Structure 1
Amino acid sequence: MNWGILGAGSVAQRRVMPAINALEGHAVQTLMVRDACRARDLAASHGASNGVSSVEALLADETIDAVYVSSPVVHHRDHVLAVAQAGKHVLCEKPMAMSSDTCRDMIEACNNAGVTLGTCYVLRGWEIYQRIRDLIRNGDLGTLIELRAHLAKWTPREADEWRLDPAQSGGGVLIDVATHYLDLFRFLAGEIVRVAYMGSSRVFDWPVEETAHALVAFESGCHGSLTATCTVPNGGNLLEVYGSEGSLFLGKTLRIVRGDDVVEEVVVFPDYYSGILTDFAHCTKTSNTPIASGLDGLRGTQIVEAAYQSAREQKIVTVISVG
């Protein structure tokens, strides 16, 4: 599959293009950034055939099969619609958009154009999370009671970075990072129907939240809690799943506890994107639904909308249905 890269920023450079180039049968064909000289330099350093400085030039490349959209969130709608109109499949970085109505426009455009739309909820493509979902669905942990996730890292940003401008990003760590784990909750435990949320900015004094705390209720009746922050050096990620007959804890190791029986193993985590890229490419050829679809992107945005509403109104908010 020949890929176009619309918005070759830091994530595309550090993670996406290396993952594409490492997959058999995949190649970065053309990448686009606004500066023409930088586009040519990035193309040379990432093995791309072309580096261009406009969306129009990118989409004019008839050798491109699919486009990875990683522009500022405010531009996702226009860029996805342009890619769909050009007849190319589109994999959109999360968050899909800043509003659910915008997500619906993107889904409709891709459906009308007959192209596949995927969302980069990359954790769905990791074998370890697919394994955990199987444990839950097979009843190995009994009745699911609670999920907890904690993400702590240190990510200072430049003052002029677009992610710090809510008009371009839609918000801070909740919509930018925690949305991965809210989607993972859905992947593991089903639909989220209610949310209570608080955010804060105490270290970098950003105009968007640096730390996010969310409590969620699932359609099944179980609950979840999530904390994400970009203000803690040497932090880490932790997922806890509690059931009536067993629990599991995923950090650098996976520990499964059932009564007095404890099994622990070291986990080798994959690169972030290879799973989602492989699945998406397969779906473009089979017309299957991607493991992280446009509807999943919509649902993620609906949950984020409900969370921000919860913070504004200081109450638990019901998450509206998909569609």
Structure 2
Amino acid sequence: MKFDKVRWGIIGCGDVTEVKSGPAFQKVENSELVAVMRRTGELAKDYAERHGVPKWYDNGDALINDPEVDVVYIATPPGSHKEYTIKAAKAGKPVYVEKPMALNAEECQEMITACKAAGVPLFVAYYRRAQPKFLKIKELLESNVIGDVRFASTTQYQKPSEDVKDPSHLPWRVQPDLAGGGLFFDLASHTLDMLDYLLGPVKEVQGFATNQGDYYHAEDIVTGTYLFESGVHGVGNWCFTAFENVDLNEIVGTKGKISFSTFGNDPVSLKTANGTEQWSFEPPKHVHQPLVERIVSELTGIGGECPSTGITGARTNWVMGEMVKNYYKV
């Protein structure tokens, strides 16, 4: 399946598409955004007018079946990812779906199966896999500057946001039927996917998930341990009701360690016996753009493959699901 130019349609043109993703489809070579959809038609129309998009819809099926839409980008909450992905696949159209890929690993597998049966590629919006900051970390690991990797640790915690303190108007990100879980699914998914990219797949997982803040039903703290197929160990702690915001990942080897944040703009730091080196990176204005470039290159046959697929995205859903499964059995 090759295209001369990739014509995109967005299902769910909400906040994430305003700067992070939407403009990237119009700025990448051999790519254009031709249609958007939102259930509230007036909002879809407003988005289309502000962003110079020719068509808008208030119905996802109509966008999927538009003959001028080649590829469907699904930017709704995870609760509807499976439904729209399967519909797009049946229409013979490649899919780019937001993260986390779906509510759970089982839904991810259904999406993979549907796209495989239809012969269309499935991409997932773990856009850090294409950003220079994380490519630098991968380069450092592959150059063996920290020797044999022994373990990876993640510490991420933050203050509770004001929008979770009103139980009558909770954001979708803390509603498990829409998000798969709580903020752990929305935020930790980025880190866990990045560790998959840097260190390879995880083969065993154990975790504890509870709710300490009592602002909502979903888990608000998760602690997990995992074993990568390579033999590297991993441990992570995510808390969303702490007193300050901390975002730190460390990959430790026999000759040194690499420290970096998932969401912050602080430098990538390499510490070895020779001292400490740092590299700073400005985040892309449109954070999806480097990954969209990779997708368009693959779909137009220019070269290369997108590093974030349904297969890789499903692995992250599985790891998260294993870490919280005891909480949702209660």
- TM-score (ref. length: structure 2): 0.87
Contact 1:257–1:263 under 8 Å retained in 2: yes
Aligned to 2:148: 143
Distance 2:233 2:105 in 1: 24
Query: 1:285 and 1:153 mapped to 2: Cα distance?
Result: 41
State the distance in 2 between where 1:310 and 1:219 align. Answer: 23
Q: Using a 3 Å threshold, how does the CA distance of structure 1 residues 137 and 300 change in structure 2: closer, same or farther?
A: same
Distance 1:204 1:258, change over 3 A: same
How far the C-alpha of 1:199 sits from its partner, in A, is: 3.0
Q: Distance in 1 between matches of 2:188 and 2:162?
A: 16
- Which of these residues, 289, 298, 303, is aligned with residue 319 of structure 2? 303
- Displacement, 1:93? 0.8
Stretch deviating more after TM superposition (24-33 or 139-148): 24-33
Alignment of 1:109-148 (within 5 A): 109-148=114-153
- How far the C-alpha of 1:279 sits from its partner, in A, is 1.2
**SS of the counterpart of 2:291?**
helix
2:278 partner amino acid: E
Q: Aligned pair 1:70/2:95, yes or no?
A: no
Taking a change above 3 Å as real, the CA distance of residues 228 and 9 of structure 1, as seen in their structure-2 partners, is farther
Matched, 1:170 2:180: yes
Residues 173, 211 of structure 1: 8 Å contact kept: no
**2:283 corresponds to which of 241, 248, 269:** 269
Residue of 183, 188, 195 corresponding to 1:185: 195
Residue 280 of structure 1 corresponds to 295
Alignment of 1:238-249 (within 5 A): 238-249=248-259
Compute the displacement of 1:91 (Å).
0.4
AA of the residue aligned to 2:306: P
Between the two proteins, what is the percent identity of the paired residues? 25
Q: How does 1:1-323 map to 2 (within 5 A)?
A: 1-153=6-158, 155-157=161-163, 159-203=169-213, 205-231=215-241, 235-251=245-261, 252-270=266-284, 271-286=286-301, 289-309=305-325, 311=327
User: How many residues in Structure 1 have an aligned counterpart in Structure 2?
Assistant: 314
**d(CA) in 1 for partners of 2:247 and 2:138?**
18
Q: In structure 2, what is the Cα distance between the partners aligned to 1:12 and 1:203?
A: 31
* SS at 2:163 equivalent: coil
Q: In the TM superposition, what is the alpha-carbon distance from 1:310 to its structure 2 partner? A: 5.0
User: Counterpart amino acid of 1:73?
Assistant: P
Residue identity matched to 1:176: D
CA distance in 2, matches of 1:276, 1:156: 32
- Call closer, same or farther: CA 1:234–1:273 in 2, change over 3 Å: farther
Q: 1:41 to 1:78 in 2, by over 3 A?
A: same
Q: Quote the Cα distance in structure 2 between the aligned partners of 1:214 and 1:21.
A: 40
- The AA in structure 1 aligned to 2:189 is T
In structure 1, runs of 5+ residues without a counterpart are 315-323
| Unpaired segments ≥5 residues, structure 2 | 1-5
Find the aligned partners of 2:296 and 2:241 in 1 and give their Cα distance.
Answer: 36
SS in 2 for 1:146: strand
